[in-house]
Amino acid sequence: MDSPRKDIRCFICARAASPYFRSPDRLYEGRKGEFDLWRCPACGLVFLSPHPGERVLHAHYPREYGPHADFADSGAHGETTGRIRNVMSRGARRYWFGYPPGKRWWQVIFYPYALRLAHYPYYRDNGSLLDIGCGSGQFMSSMKRVGWTEVVGIDFSERAVGVAKKRGLDAHVGTVGELRFPDSHFDAITMHHVFEHLPDPKEMLSEAKRILKDDGEVIITVPNTGSFLARLFGKNWFGFEIPRHLYNYNKKNLLTLLSQCGFRVTSVVSVKIFSTLMADIGYAFPKFRAAGAKTLRQLNAISNAAEFFIDPLLRPFTLGDELTFRARKR
């Protein structure tokens, strides 16, 4: 690996970073440009430098980009699998997150599913919630349905916000800084797979701290560069999602960043130990991606079922592809 460059530094620990690798957009192939990733030798932060300009970056969020697309009603699964999922979700959020009408002792069995809901805020009567990076509003819709009184969302995508508004949701185009919410207004602020997209994470955390109530909580979910699959596949790990992910975090560096910005982390949950496996194999072995598509789909279905039981056992080791941080103001 090339030696560190003094002019390219980690924004968290200020150490000189080393070149990691260069890559095009691997998810949406055929788009112009290659992008340089750098790695901090001290805290492990992996980041793009230079950042793509806004116009270039927006070109890498096409209409089919998942979080910005329309979605089916969460309750509209219609099949047995969907009904089972809904039962587990209700039980998990009632027992572990305090949602009405209250918990029953037997709902403790839904703990594995509760880990999948780690990005859910604890319930508040007459609670106000801000979903940053709301996309087309799927999470907002869920939060309204389970009892949050005020649910507000923001996103940079006009098309995604338009979809959310058509569903009657209070969604806005812009940034937290631009919209100037009142001080100490929200009980919960959620950023689900959004934080890694932000060009200025410290500014976002500063604004989040300003508009969060003193007893409120911030919940941040990011891909985990310290995951089992990230370590196994290295540069071929799907979670880098170049160039949309400007910063790629692990447990250590995001704990440090949150502390620097005045937050106290109350819990860290890591799940989905096999979630990117199919994509990782496809990146590592491009020929197999086409020839073995059916095998990869079968492998993905098996791994998704297995991780439901494996995740609770491996929780102390934070080896999943996702990290969820729950934090409060200090």
DSSP 152-163: EEEES-HHHHHH
Residue 77: the pLDDT is: 43
145-194 tens-digit pLDDT = 999 999 999 999 999 999 999 999 999 999 999 999 999 999 999 999 99
Nearest to 320 by CA among 273, 268, 250, 251: 273
Q: What is the CATH superfamily name and number for domain 66-329?
A: Vaccinia Virus protein VP39 (3.40.50.150)
Residue 307: the pLDDT is: 80
- Per-residue tokens: 198: 């932000």
Handedness of CA 252, 118, 218, 329 (dihedral sign): negative
Residue 48: the pLDDT is: 97
Can you give the residue ranges of every domain in the chain? 66-329
291-305 tens-digit pLDDT = 666 676 777 777 777
Distances (CA, A) of 86 to 6, 105, 155: 52, 18, 27
- Report residue 104: phi and psi, to 5°: -120, 145
The residue behind tokens 């447990």 is 251
Nearest to 171 by CA among 159, 185, 154: 154
Is residue 93 within 8 Å of residue 147, measured between CB atoms?
no
* Alpha helices per DSSP H over the chain: 54-58, 80-97, 111-116, 138-145, 158-166, 176-179, 201-211, 228-233, 251-260, 277-284, 286-291, 293-314
Selected residue with higher pLDDT from 79 and 87 = 87
Distances (CA, A) of 312 to 97, 190, 317: 17, 23, 10
CA dist 82 and 308 (Å) reads 16
Asked if the model's pLDDT at residue 49 lies above 60, the reply is yes
Cβ atoms < 10 Å from Cβ of 36: 16
Percent of the chain with pLDDT over 70: 92
Asked if the model's pLDDT at residue 16 lies above 90, the reply is yes
Residues β-bridged to residue 227: none
Is residue 323 within 8 Å of residue 268, measured between CB atoms?
yes
- Per-residue tokens: 131: 């979903």
What is the average pLDDT value for the chain, to the nearest integer?
90
Chain center to CA of 325: 10
Residue 73: the pLDDT is: 45
- Out of 78-92, 207-221, 310-324, pick the least confident: 78-92
Residue 110: the pLDDT is: 84
Is residue 205 within 8 Å of residue 261, measured between CB atoms?
yes
Residue 74: the pLDDT is: 40
Measured between alpha carbons, how far apart are the two ends of the chain, in Å? 39
Asked if the model's pLDDT at residue 78 lies above 50, the reply is no
Asked if the model's pLDDT at residue 144 lies above 90, the reply is yes
